[in-house]
Structure 1
Amino acid sequence: MKTIASWLTLALFGLVLGGCAAVGAGSGGAGETEIRSGKIEEITQTQMQTNHDSGVGAILGGIGGLGLGSLIGGGTGRDVAMVAGALAGAAGGNYIEKKKYDQPVDAQQIIVRTQSGVLVQVTQSINPVLRKGMNVYVEGAGNEARVVPQS
């Protein structure tokens, strides 16, 4: 038993030290952003889904449902009513939050030809300054990529 505890302690210590390891320079560590430059070839108006799923609606709905469920019955029946109320309230609160705040917003799909000749497509909130033929920077990568004008 002592051997198992020793190995588990050693493994945990190794994981903690591994989590504290510094990220090497140039490997996309904290604070680094990839920036590419190029020219806008095309801009198309579109819509994109927002990501306002904060969970506040589900939490508030669950608390409200729990409170209402606690007013029903007594004993085990009351416990069941509280759980059912919390679940129903959470589902209802989540639905209301999505219905009100998770609506598509106007956006623009921008295609940039970088200096290396690669085409990069970015969908982002509308930036009225951007136009076809403009020299721009493409900052970041993936869902975090943004097109900004060169100054």
Structure 2
Amino acid sequence: MKTIVSWLSITLLGLALGACVAVGASSGGGGEMEIRSGKIEQITQTQMQTNHDSGVGAILGGIGGLGLGSLIGHGTGRDVAMLAGALAGAAGGNYAEKRKYDQPLDAQQIIVRTNSGVLVSVTQPINPSLAKGMSVYVEGAGSEARVVAQH
């Protein structure tokens, strides 16, 4: 049973360290960014999901549950209580994190006709300075794309 507790501890430590890793050039690296220009054809109000599901709630809940489980019983019963506490704490921490931080945000879907004639749709947080017919840049691609006004 000590082997299970050791593997559980190593797994939780790995998850904690993995949650801190930045991936890709868009998360702080000096990579290139694609920029296209065009005019806004349509702006529609919508909502977008946040990406606050970092796993910190599950990690902290698991550690807390592991600690509480260690206070119960002796021997094999204690090991089972620690494992059950870690699992229950991780599930509860994940639920609490999602409930508090993973709420939809008000956003806008912007349709831009680029100078080459291609329509591009970008969903981003609300930017009140954007309006239909305005000349804009579309920076980036995919989920990292943003529409900004030309000055």
TM-score, normalised with respect to structure 1: 0.80
Q: How far apart, in 1, do the equivalents of 2:106 and 2:77 lie?
A: 49
Q: How far apart, in 2, do the equivalents of 1:132 and 1:123 lie?
A: 15
Superposition deviation, residue 54 in structure 1 = 1.4
Larger radius of gyration: 1
**2:126 matched to which residue of 1?**
126
Q: How far apart, in 2, do the equivalents of 1:104 and 1:30 lie?
A: 30
**1:144 matched to which residue of 2?**
144
Q: How far apart, in 1, do the equivalents of 2:67 and 2:41 lie?
A: 57
Gap runs ≥5 in structure 1: 1-28
**2:12 matched to which residue of 1?**
none
Is structure 2 residue 43 aligned with structure 1 residue 43?
A: yes
Q: Which amino acid aligns with 1:33?
A: M
Superposition deviation, residue 83 in structure 1 = 0.5
* Residue deviations 1:32-83 (CA, integer Å, cap 9, x gap): 1110000000000000000001111111101110111011111011001001
Q: How far apart, in 2, do the equivalents of 1:117 and 1:30 lie?
A: 30
Superposition deviation, residue 94 in structure 1 = 0.3
Q: How does 1:1-150 map to 2 (within 5 A)?
A: 30-150=30-150
Q: Which amino acid aligns with 1:112?
A: V
Tell me the C-alpha RMSD between the 2 structures: 1.1
4+ aligned runs moved over 3 Å, structure 1: none
Q: Percent sequence identity over matched residues? A: 86
Partner of 2:61, secondary structure, is helix
Partner of 2:109, secondary structure, is strand
* Residue deviations 1:81-134 (CA, integer Å, cap 9, x gap): 001100100000000000010000000000000001000000000000000000
Superposition deviation, residue 31 in structure 1 = 2.1
Q: Which amino acid aligns with 2:132?
A: K
Q: How far apart, in 2, do the equivalents of 1:31 and 1:68 lie?
A: 45
Gap runs ≥5 in structure 2: 1-28
